[in-house]
Amino acid sequence: MNPVAGVRYREATVADVAEIARSRLADPEAGRADPRMAAYLQGTHHPQRALAPRVAYVALHDPDVAGYIAGHLTRRYDCDGEVQYLFVAPRHRRSGIGSELLRRLARWFAEQGAFRICVDVDADSPSARPFYTGHGATRLNDHWLVWEDIRTLLPSGMRGRLVGQ
């Protein structure tokens, strides 16, 4: 892995949605960003069985959005949380940005006491399944993967502090 210099991460808001959508144009095969993303972040669009708490993070390679992730608490499939969006712009792939975004979301889930996390894998994306399984997700059904305990993605020192929350 070859980390990209100068990439910074922060929580995203609805004000980032336009730049997020623009970043996605770099990958026509991935398709456009979900037009419901602003409503999702504002809490007016709810994926199936979603609960209100949700969060998004962006990776910024100034001035561009290099990648983003979002997730929410859920009751779907007996999970505590769901990864809703994940995308890294093609020119930034395989440099650890997706992994860092996933770790940030994992930490947020753990802070909410949400440990069993699922994701609906994009079957048309050649990178999605290897990325998630490489991070320890296992089969839930034909479309979905699950982490029985998302804290396995966190550094052991941080994991200890979050146990039992």
Ligand X SMILES: CC(C)(COP(=O)(O)OP(=O)(O)OC[C@H]1O[C@@H](n2cnc3c(N)ncnc32)[C@H](O)[C@@H]1OP(=O)(O)O)[C@@H](O)C(=O)NCCC(=O)NCCS
Which part of the chain contacts ligand X (CB under 6 A), choosing from 14-22, 46-54, 71-79, 80-88?
A: 80-88
The helix (run of H) or strand (run of E) holding residue 134 is helix 128-134
Sign of the dihedral defined by the CA atoms of residues 2, 5, 71, 28, in that order: negative
How far apart are CB 145 and ligand X at their closest, in Å? 9
Long-range contacts of 127-133, Cβ-Cβ distance < 8 Å, separation of 24 or more: 127/93, 128/86, 131/98
Which part of the chain contacts ligand X (CB under 6 A), choosing from 13-21, 37-45, 108-116, 118-126?
A: 118-126
Is position 96 an interface residue for ligand X (rule: CB under 6 A)? yes
Helix (H), strand (E), coil (C) string for 43-66: CCCCCCCEEEEEEEEEEEECCEEE
Is position 5 an interface residue for ligand X (rule: CB under 6 A)? no
Alpha-carbon span 123 to 102, nearest angstrom: 19
How far apart are CB 67 and ligand X at their closest, in Å? 6
The residue within the footprint of ligand X, chosen from 33, 88, 150, 154 (CB under 6 A), is: 88
- Residues 6 or more apart whose Cβ sits within 8 Å of residue 117: 71, 79, 80, 81, 82, 83, 106, 109, 146, 147, 150
Nearer to ligand X, 55 or 97 (CB): 97
Is position 125 an interface residue for ligand X (rule: CB under 6 A)? yes
Is position 98 an interface residue for ligand X (rule: CB under 6 A)? yes
Which part of the chain contacts ligand X (CB under 6 A), choosing from 13-21, 33-41, 86-94, 105-113?
A: 86-94
User: Identity (one letter) of the amino acid at 141?
Assistant: N
Is position 93 an interface residue for ligand X (rule: CB under 6 A)? yes
- Are 83 and 119 in contact, with CB atoms under 8 Å apart? yes
The residue within the footprint of ligand X, chosen from 22, 36, 49, 94 (CB under 6 A), is: 94
| Residues lying near ligand X in the complex (CB under 6 A) | 1, 30, 86-88, 93-99, 121-122, 125-128, 130-131, 134
